[in-house]
Structure 1
Amino acid sequence: MTLDAADANVTARAGQNGRAPRCDHLDRLSAVRRGLPECRECLALGWAWTRLVACLTCGWVACSDDSPGCHARAHYHETDHPVVAALESELAWRWCYVHERIV
């Protein structure tokens, strides 16, 4: 067992291959129904999005940070729903806004 400066078990919270702490937000997620594949805010503003992501807490679909509106991040700030997933089926990643990394 490896301990940190606060004598906490670092090994228990390590991620894959010990690279980064495991994101405990993933443990709190349940299956959700995703919304339509569109960013409602961008549509209302007449903007185009680069990529869509779905909130894994409530299913809300919005544009990602590489889109002009960053509406998924705005959803996180409004709701504290921490994890989103890529909407495109060929991309299999999840992003945690709390940890600011792929999880």
Structure 2
Amino acid sequence: MSDPVEQINADVQPSGPGCQECEQSGGWWVHLRRCAACGHVGCCDTSPSQHATAHVESTGHQIVQSYEPGEDWFYDYGSGDFALGPNLAAPTEHPADQTVPGPRDRVPANWDQLIHR
């Protein structure tokens, strides 16, 4: 596998304001992660569908950054380590008015019973 630092493309923009696959399927998420290599935004492992991890497994892009407001940490799926990294292209977080979990209109009332812990 390539050096994780080589997988960071600071110039690529995120794929959108929410999880790319959940948006297509009408799903929902808890937190969002942004691929540092290609900008894919996927839902975290607490979310029902775990699309960020699925993206890592299907592409080999092992570095993600939190896509949550106020968070700038990176995570390396290969090493299992958290780290700080370079500034990525804006936007660096989902819209501030987007709920967590979100999006508001698709989150079931019993969402806390459906998440992975």
Q: Which moved more, 1:49-58 or 1:38-47?
A: 38-47
The residue matched to 2:71 in structure 1 has which SS? coil
Decide which structure has the larger Cα Rg and report it: 1
Say if 2:60 is the partner of 1:89.
Answer: no
- Number of residue equivalences: 80
Over the matched positions of the two proteins, sequence identity in percent amounts to 35
Ranked by relative contact order (alpha carbons within 8 Å, sequence separation 6 or more), the top structure is 2
Aligned match of 2:53: 73
Query: Deviations for 1:78-101, whole angstroms, at most 9, x for unmatched residues?
Result: 000010001123012111110112
Instruction: Return the TM-score normalized by structure 1.
Output: 0.69
**Match for residue 4 of structure 2?**
25
* 1:2-45 superposed Cα distances (whole Å, 9 cap, x missing partner): xxxxxxxxxxxxxxxxxxxxxx5125422121111111322333
Preserved contact between residue 53 and residue 63 of structure 1 (Cα < 8 Å) = yes
Runs of 4+ deviating beyond 2 Å: 43-47
5+ residue gaps, structure 1, are 1-23
CA contact (8 A) 2:20 2:40 kept: no
